[in-house]
Amino acid sequence: MEAQGQPVVMACENETDYVTVFRAGGNSTLYPKNGVDKAVVHGDRSALNPAQEGTKVALQYVFGAIAPGETVTIRLRLRAALHAQEPAFGQGFDQVLGARRQEADRFYRRVLPPETSLDDAHVARRAFAGLLWGKQVYRCTVREWLDGDPAQPKPPSQRLADEPGGRNTSWAHLELADVISMPDDWEYPWFAAWDLAFHCVTLAHVDPAMAKDQLLLLCREWAQHPNGQMPAYEWSFSDVNPPVHAWAAWQVYVIDGCRDRAFLGQMLSKLLLNMGWWVNHKDEHGSDLFEGGFLGMDNISVFDRSRELPAGTRLEQSDATSWVAFAFLSMLRMSWELARHDRAWSELPTTFLERFLAIAEATEDFGSAGIELWDEADGFFYDVLVMKDGRAEPVRVRSLVGLIPLLAVMLSPTWVHRELPDFVVRRRWLEQHQPELLARRLLVHGDEVNEGTLCLVEPERYARLLAHMLDENQFLSPHGVRSLSAAYRQTTSVDVAGIPLSVQYAPGESNSGLFGGNSNWRGPVWMPVNVLLVDALRVYGEGAGRQISVELPTGSGRRVDLRTVADDLTERLLSLFRPAGPTGRRPSQPADHPDDPAWNVHPTFSEYFHGDSGVGLGASHQTGWTALVAHLICSRKQGDAV
């Protein structure tokens, strides 16, 4: 390492200061790892090695006041000793930097569509950079954590209590020492299962090998539970995240050129275990309707969906059921692709089709209660609370919970009929013995490319749902689809089983105490679900929804097709990051960022966005799944949804 100027070299060892941290024991070195902190923050240089040697080294530069707009540059260089005779920061240094810039420009010219504007290219490159920067070595051995480190005080007894009293006690097999894409490497330096799936879709545009490795990692035997569940995140591996990984795997496969069938097969074989876990654990009553708790959308309902309900009652969830249907359709598409090239996979497509059809049928009517997830009067899907006596009542809150059914849609390529005889035979049996079921869920509209559309929501209901989603007084914001209808701007009482509960649209930070008050799904725009909606609109519009026209926005009198709706929603999402107004401030800039050209040139990628203004909220330095904006920009070169 060579450093320009005369920085102060601060060296210590990368070993814990047990005396300071635990107030007990002795240190294994005179120069523990917090030596730099002590020197810089507290002015105590006693823990720095005066010989300037150690396994942890920092360089300290001190500058005076830096005027607004002024730049200070620090130049560092790593190079082999054989080149040491050349000046470290002369012409060679500038040539290396220049060459790397040119290489990066050439690379991104191939990644981004040719028609991409300079502003959008800038946003996409920053999003990719943030996501790539967020890779981090993640080490976690649950068994060691439960037992405690022999060199440290013993862990508290409650750590070993059975769940839910303890934490992760049923995950003793989990042992990770892998490079993982984090939501960000500062505030959220841990993986989250469904976040990671969205990371991979964006990563596939620039590093498909990394994207595939990340998806496979969650399914490896040292991560995935033996019962098939995927680990959610470190504070509770047993929490339930939406099963978006089949969709992500298919997206990565297509973005990578539809060539790595080995990856597709590896993913599908492990996803079979995962979906077995869903069927066995989250459909406890065998109704083909699913539960799952908050499913990543923490406080979106009027009560905490992850807490136990009174004995004998259960909540059949619109989103959980639709997520599972969505996953089975994605797995059906994967299995078609594999069976096309290897008959060993030929029986799985029928399994996934029949699972999807069973779930679709259950959404119509489950048992003697006679209450559907679909509410015909409201034209919306709701969670349904089933009582001990068999009565069932919908939880009438209009949120993303009721829009998730839109995601379960897939096109059936014409080659399926020609090239998969085993599947065709089974489908013909269904056509003969259950014609009404298949007719409602496989909407035939033959053309040269696609034979039909499999969907959870038929066209008439689809249009009614979109009337809510595209209503600016409900879900449609200037910058995407809100997580909760803005019709609840005033506190609204919702009757659930005779109990009045309240809900209020909160476009910014949460005003709800649920989940500690740090959950924000009652109004803000979240990028991942919006991207899924865009993808589903394009698929439906290419198939069964070709003849559908809807008002955009609702009540405007302007009727458009679904492709136009998808394009419009994409533009709203991209507008979050585009410079606007005389100063070029981006709507997504956090409120505490000054409106100044020096700030405005740098887009930030927040966790979520204000439901009315688009202002970035949560961690503004987090790229994470918000990097999907780069996927939206890159997908334009493919024309339609992948």
pLDDT at position 369 over 70: no
Taking only the tens place, the pLDDT of each residue in 375-388 is 999 999 999 999 88
Tokens of 199: 């990371």
Residue 539 near residue 496 (C-beta atoms within 8 A): no
Residues 4-17 have a mean pLDDT of 94
For residue range 443-474, list pLDDT tens digits in order.
877 778 888 899 999 999 999 999 999 999 99
The angle subtended at Cα 38 by Cα 34 and Cα 40, nearest 5°, is 115
The strand pair at 135-141 and 559-561 is best described as unpaired
In whole angstroms, give the CA distance from residue 413 to residue 419.
10
- pLDDT digits over 534-590, tens only? 999 999 999 989 999 999 999 999 999 999 999 999 999 999 999 999 999 999 999
DSSP-derived letter for residue 298 is: T
- CB-based contact 591:609 (threshold 8 Å): no
Quote the pLDDT of residue 639. 44
**What single letter denotes the amino acid at residue 512?**
S
What is the pLDDT at residue 593?
A: 93
Secondary structure of residue 70 in the 3-state scheme: coil
Q: How far apart are alpha carbons 304 and 299 in whole angstroms?
A: 6
Taking alpha carbons only, the member of 538, 507, 535, 511 closest to residue 523 is: 507
Residues with Cβ within 8 Å of 289's Cβ and at least 6 positions away in sequence, in order, are 283, 316, 317, 321, 359, 362, 363, 366, 373
pLDDT in tens, 39-94: 999 999 999 999 999 999 999 999 989 988 788 999 999 888 666 678 889 898 99
The reported pLDDT for the residue numbered 309 is 87
Closest CA to 75 of 61, 85, 89: 89
- In the DSSP assignment, the letter for residue 500 is E
Report d(CA 268, CA 387) in Å as an integer.
37
Q: Which pLDDT score is estimated for 640?
A: 39
Distance CA 191, CA 138 (A): 8
Q: What is the mean pLDDT of residues 201-216?
A: 98
> CA–CA distance from 467 to each of 471, 474, 523, 550, 553 (Å)?
6, 10, 18, 7, 8
Residue partners of 641: CB distance under 8 A and separation at least 6? 534, 535, 536, 538, 539, 542, 566, 635
Whether 408 and 457 have beta carbons less than 8 Å apart is answered as: yes
Radius of gyration (Cα) for the chain, nearest Å?
27
pLDDT of residue 642: 36
Report the alpha-carbon distance of residue 25 to residue 447 in Å, rounded: 75
Percent of the chain exceeding pLDDT 90 equals 76
Q: Which residues pair with 585 in a beta bridge?
A: 580
Instruction: Give tens-digit pLDDT for 134-156.
Output: 999 999 999 998 988 877 778 88
Spatial distance between the Cα atoms of 307 and 238, rounded to a whole number of angstroms: 14
- Would you place residue 435 in the very low, low, confident or very high pLDDT band (cuts 50, 70, 90)? confident
Nearest to 636 by CA among 571, 549, 541, 575: 571
pLDDT, position 445: 74
What CA–CA distances, in Å, run from 503 to 71, 380, 498, 618?
49, 17, 16, 21
With beta carbons less than 8 A apart as the criterion, state whether 541 and 563 touch. yes
Tell me how far apart the alpha carbons of residues 496 and 305 are, in angstroms, rounded to a whole number: 13
Euclidean distance between CA atoms 122 and 603, whole angstroms: 9
Indicate the Cα dihedral angle 450, 456, 462, 468, nearest 10°: -140
pLDDT of residue 514: 83
Tell which CATH architecture fits domain 129-517: Alpha/alpha barrel (1.50)
Q: Using the CB atoms, write b or e for 21-56: b if 16+ within 10 Å.
A: eeeeeebebebbbbbbebbeeeeeeebbbeeeebeb
Is the overall model pTM greater than 0.75, yes or no? yes
Of 477, 472, 613, 482, which is closest to residue 553 (Cα–Cα)?
A: 472
pLDDT band at 274 (very low <50, low <70, confident <90, very high): very high
Of 369, 384, 401, 400, nearest to 496 (Cα)?
A: 384
Q: How many CB atoms lie within 10 A of CB 209?
A: 12
**Mapping DSSP to helix (H, G, I), strand (E, B) and coil, where does residue 477 land?**
strand
| E strand or H helix at 338 | helix 318-341
Query: Could you read off the pLDDT of 380-413 as tens digits, one per residue?
Result: 999 999 988 888 899 999 999 999 999 999 999 9
Q: Where are the beta strands (DSSP E) in 304-439?
A: 314-316, 374-375, 380-381, 383-386, 392-395, 409-413
Do residues 450 and 369 touch, judged by C-beta distance below 8 A?
Answer: no
Residue at 166: amino acid letter: G
3-state secondary structure 525-572: ECHHHHHHHHHHHHHHHHCCCCCCEEECCCCCCCEEEHHHHHHHHHHH
By the 8 A CB rule, do 241 and 230 touch?
Answer: yes
Q: State how far the Cα of 262 lies from the Cα of 249, in Å rounded to an integer.
A: 12
Structure confidence by residue, pLDDT tens digits, 165-203: 678 999 999 999 999 999 987 778 889 999 999 999 999
For residue 41, report the phi and psi dihedrals to the nearest 5 degrees.
-85, -40
What residue segments make up the domains of the chain, in order of their start? Answer: 2-89, 129-517
Quote the tokens at residue 320: 């959980």
d(CA 32, CA 20): 10
Average pLDDT over residues 26-38: 94
Report phi then psi at 409, rounded to 5: -150, 140
* pLDDT at residue number 475: 98
How do residues 598-626 score in pLDDT, each as one tens digit? 899 999 999 999 999 999 999 887 789 99
